[in-house]
Chain A
């Protein structure tokens, strides 16, 4: 019977934490919008989660674009179809790698930092002291970070894809000698704005929302000890990575699976 009780307890815990996460989200979104006060806070958080993630995004995007061009070229050249390198790089980046790799990097770079920051604010009584100053921490601390995450990550994903396409150009055209005209023109003829670019952006918005939500909730709900915060930070990265990969499959099936 013990194992049954264990399953039951963990189910109750899971449902309970979903409930708390939902309440936190509602509190942060519905918290009476004080745009004038909150905009500078959100901008500051965009700096923290967005601008400070820029370097890793640009470098990763460049390398991934370059590697894809290298790999793609060796495969395509066997069929004499190296002209299709452009669409291969662009489509993989816009549809899949841009949203997913950006999301994974974002979870590791910004998500873990958000969890640790909010967890430490809780541990050092900063959240309590906000409450005692009659300032709602959901509005003051949670909401700006949530919006900043949702705004920043799609921006990072767009930059990632663009840099990746340029990286593919560097390797494919400048090193391996694919014709520059065909790199761009065949790419243009196969990439569709609505189907590829917009769908990719929809994916990143969904990922951004999920990662930021998990990260903030894990910090907000962390046990305020050093052990609790380190556990929460790890869980943020693990849970949000799994959520991104799972959601990616579902979204891809919905967007591209039905033809």
Chain B
């Protein structure tokens, strides 16, 4: 199996706080890899590191064997045309219609005629079921529709790698089902490599080929969905079952309760 993206011994800290400590990941070409973990551990940061928007303190991130953090800006921009990212908010350009949003990467990076662009855009919109919404402004879309429109934009240039940042967060069950189906269908149809960052356990178990679970700056578990379900790690089990307290503590680190209230310090 060929690795599209390899992360070796990555350490990253922000404003003095260590977020990742010596992490290694493999993203296999043509597969869907999920990165899961509790909120606030910097899953989005991982995607930004992969896209070269942030630079690691140490370690190496390679896309097709080429180290991302040592690329020149121009080279990085060339490489980024092969990846795309679906942001949590959708990040549609609010001053353009849905149609222009999806045409945007095509107009920027290709020399296609407007007629060819129109065909492509309508095809992509058809794929996400929003052909009828082409002339709406992003503000007129519901959250789920905005995310689907953003997905259409993300696949406009037929990238090799798509990174999904919390694609299911804050969606109603129907939109969530639609998105799950879409991501699966797109991967199968376009042979994409996907990285999904999420904390929605059930959805991910249905679409992911391989799962990494991050917590406490480390990879605490990895494997296929079956392996993960049978993991005997208490951390992994707490995360899958959603127990309030456990190895991942309910309380943010603080002084002992007695000390705080009785002032015996």
Interface residues of A (CB under 8 A from B): 37, 121, 124-126, 128-129, 131-136, 140
Contact = CB atoms under 8 A, between A and B. Distances in A.
A132 B108 contact: no
A131 B89 contact: no
A125 B87 CA distance: 7
B80 A133 contact: yes
Contacts of A136: 77
Contacts of A135: 105, 108
Contact of B94 (A37, A124, A134): A124
Contacts of A133: 80, 84, 104-105, 108-109
A126 B91 contact: yes
B88 interface: yes
Contact of A132 (B80, B88, B94): B80
Interface string B157-190: 0000000000000000000000000000000000
Given A128-B53, A129-B85, A134 B91 contact: no
Given A132-B53, A133-B80, A125 B108 contact: no
Nearest to A126: B91
16 contacts: A125-B87, A125-B91, A126-B92, A128-B91, A132-B80, A132-B85, A133-B84, A133-B108, A133-B109, A134-B80, A134-B81, A134-B109, A135-B105, A135-B108, A136-B77, A140-B108
Contacts of B53: 128, 131-132
Interface in B62-101: 77-78, 80-81, 83-85, 87-89, 91-94
B30 interface: no
Contacts of B37: none
B140 to A, nearest CB: 16
B51 A125 contact: no
Contacts of A121: 94
B77 A124 contact: no
Interface string B216-242: 000000000000000000000000000
Given A124-B91, A129-B85, 12 more contacts: A37-B108, A124-B94, A128-B48, A129-B87, A129-B91, A131-B53, A132-B84, A133-B80, A133-B84, A134-B77, A134-B80, A134-B81
B198 to A, nearest CB: 17
A132 B77 CA distance: 8
Contacts of A37: 108
How many residues of B sit at the interface, in one of the four size bands?
A: 20 to 34
A81 to B, nearest CB: 54
A37 B104 CA distance: 12
Nearest to A48: B95
Contacts of A131: 51, 53, 80
B108 A124 contact: no
B15 to A, nearest CB: 13
A129 B87 CA distance: 7
Contacts of B104: 133
Contacts of B51: 131-132
A135 B157 CA distance: 13
A126 B87 CA distance: 9
Contact of A126 (B77, B85, B93): B93
B87 A128 contact: yes
Point out which of A121, A126, A129, A135 has the most chain B C-beta atoms below 10 A from its C-beta: A129
A185 B125 CA distance: 66
Interface in B83-135: 83-85, 87-89, 91-94, 104-105, 108-109
Contacts of A132: 51, 53, 80, 83-85
Contacts of A134: 77-78, 80-81, 108-109
B112 to A, nearest CB: 14
Nearest to A141: B93
A131 to B, nearest CB: 6
Contacts of A124: 89, 91, 94
A125 B90 CA distance: 8
